[in-house]
Amino acid sequence: MVDVSQEQPKKLGTPAGKVLAWGLLGLLLASFLNSKILLEEAELKPLGTARTVSIALWTPIEKLAGSIGLTRPQELIDGLLETEKTDKPLGELLVENFESVASKESAIYSRGLNTEKLEPNANGLEQIAALDEADNLIEGPEVSPGPSSSNPLKLWILGDSMVQFFGETLVAYAESSEVIEAESEPVLSSGLVRPDFYDWPTRVTEIMLEEDPDVVVMMFGGNDGQSMFVPPAAWYKTFSNEWIEEYSRRVGEIMDLVSKGSNRLVMWVPQPPMKSEAFDDKMKRLNLIYEAEALKREQVYFVKIAALFSDENGEYSKYLTSDDGQTVDARLSDGVHLSTFGGQRLSRYLMHELGEIVDLSGGLATS
């Protein structure tokens, strides 16, 4: 710690102009040395002007720095720290995944949901809005022989920062049943729109291959209300028809990666009501897409949670009434994420829903 308040002012120092000139040169040097990371960071920015400008700025700098060897120190440090990312071809992994899963005899916890199927739809929104009203396509879940402490159910919880606020609570509740082994893996700022930021399909594939869970709880969307880049060069504006089609495809893909060719269950958790009206509107539209895709798949259970986090008018409410009649805050001050109570409420509900599908009494019976 430098105590500048105690240092006597001396007539020593550097003129401000010199500090500025050399400081800027230093920053320029740092930009060149660091250009690879800065370009990567620019590419990870949310789509929009800031990203476009950043990429336009850092691309020539990175090229120039690379051509004169100024990116070498960075690469050397990366090498020492082993932070270089390994790029796995997704297609290869997907094929491996399906083959691997199909060949396995995983524990069966089938639940017989969604016998009705929907035809693929360009945007699905109107159709699902109608379904919401009817809400009669979901059959009651079938309870199958459940896991035991010697043959526990493997539960994974995946998603964006929303998962951070209930994932570990759900893990704790699940493991207290003594028949579930649970793991939570939230990735902040991630989603399905920006695989360049975080590649969920690849990660999900890895988890399915390496861990082979029985049930996967998924929650995405908080960061997905943004324009989408679709290789090789297409940009889709948020909630345009093309965007909805592509996003629906990605949602379907991630659901299939978990469930296709296996008996795994996906519990898809939609976004709860949000404080900001504009954000809430976006999330409601995304929820319709999730529900549409879930309805197309037998092993995907769309868990309706809006009522858990709404007031008597069905609107967002930070404060809710607990089981014992107390008023409790269910959301953080950002009006988005769940509070401890909110996380507990959601986790309890998910456990209840899981218990409706899978017989979780094995732990009690054996204990």
**Helix/strand/coil for 278:** helix
Nearest to 197 by CA among 152, 218, 228: 228
Cis peptide bond N-terminal to 232, omega within 30: yes
- Could you say whether residue 52 binds another protein (CB under 8 A)? no
* Span near another protein by CB under 8 A; candidates 4-12, 94-102, 126-134, 242-250: 4-12
**Least Å from the CB of residue 347 to another protein:** 11
Out of 87, 313, 325, 367, point to the residue binding another protein (CB under 8 A): 325
Please answer whether residues 214 and 106 qualify as being in contact, where contact means their C-beta atoms are separated by less than 8 angstroms.
yes
Out of 106, 241, 333, 366, point to the residue binding another protein (CB under 8 A): 333
Please answer whether residues 190 and 197 qualify as being in contact, where contact means their C-beta atoms are separated by less than 8 angstroms.
yes
- Could you say whether residue 37 binds another protein (CB under 8 A)? yes
- Could you say whether residue 53 binds another protein (CB under 8 A)? no
- Could you say whether residue 188 binds another protein (CB under 8 A)? yes
Beta bridge partner(s), residue 328: 320
- Could you say whether residue 25 binds another protein (CB under 8 A)? yes
Per DSSP bridges, beta strands 265-268 and 180-186 are unpaired
Residue 201: in which H helix or E strand, if any?
helix 200-210
The structure tokens 């005899």 sit at 105
* Span near another protein by CB under 8 A; candidates 6-14, 112-120, 124-132, 304-312: 6-14
Q: CA 243, CA 197: separation in Å to the nearest integer? A: 18
Nearest to 138 by CA among 113, 112, 104, 160: 113
**Least Å from the CB of residue 173 to another protein:** 10
* Span near another protein by CB under 8 A; candidates 25-33, 128-136, 266-274, 349-357: 25-33
**CA-only gyration radius of the chain, Å:** 25
- Could you say whether residue 64 binds another protein (CB under 8 A)? no
Nearest-5° Cα angle at 29, 26 to 35: 135
Out of 52, 106, 151, 189, point to the residue binding another protein (CB under 8 A): 189
- Could you say whether residue 33 binds another protein (CB under 8 A)? yes
From first CA to last CA, the distance across the chain in angstroms is 56
- Could you say whether residue 18 binds another protein (CB under 8 A)? yes
- Could you say whether residue 275 binds another protein (CB under 8 A)? yes
Please answer whether residues 223 and 193 qualify as being in contact, where contact means their C-beta atoms are separated by less than 8 angstroms.
yes
Out of 1, 130, 134, 233, point to the residue binding another protein (CB under 8 A): 1
Q: Give me the residues that bind another protein (CB under 8 A), please.
A: 1-7, 9-27, 29-30, 33-34, 37, 41, 44, 54, 73-74, 77-78, 81, 83, 164, 167-169, 171-172, 175, 188-189, 275, 318-319, 325-329, 333-335, 339-340
